[in-house]
Amino acid sequence: MRLKQISVPIITGLLALLLAGCGKDDPERIAEKDRQKILEYISEHGLDAQEHESGVFYVIEREGSGGHPSASSVVKLNYTGKLLDGKVFDSGYGTSLRLMNTIQGWQYGIPMFRKGGEGLLLIPSGLGYGQWPTGSIPGNSVLIFEIELIDYF
């Protein structure tokens, strides 16, 4: 009898700790936090952003012309990648790459641009590098890319 009285509080406490620990890495919770960070950034910078169904936000600053690339296209672009605090972590000029070999955020976002188009992609961490630090990018980082789509094939 006494064993049951001691076991219930211990089990309840352990279960609470386990659930609390799991909540920190819950992808849905992280995605919602990222979305809030992105919305704050958009508001602070007065951006006219659209939200793709994937959760990527994009801003078209120059429309461009012609069609849109697909996820299987090779794209040629200029880009600068930044964190929310403005720290640049990557850039490329005249870079060509197969879109399907990039982060998911690019696979969803870059097809929103036309050839010659320019703008921004705001990518939640789950569609970027996720929880894993990559180079100078901390885990669970929202990514911002300035994009100019030069061409696609």
What is 26-152's CATH topology? Chitinase A; domain 3 (3.10.50)
**Helices (H), ranges, 25-145:** 27-44, 104-109
Which among 117, 109, 104, 106 has a CA at the least distance from the CA of 60? 117
pLDDT, tens digit only, all 153 positions of the chain: 444 444 444 444 444 444 444 445 788 999 999 999 999 999 999 999 999 999 999 999 999 998 999 989 999 999 999 999 999 999 999 999 999 999 999 999 999 999 999 999 999 999 999 999 999 999 999 999 999 999 999
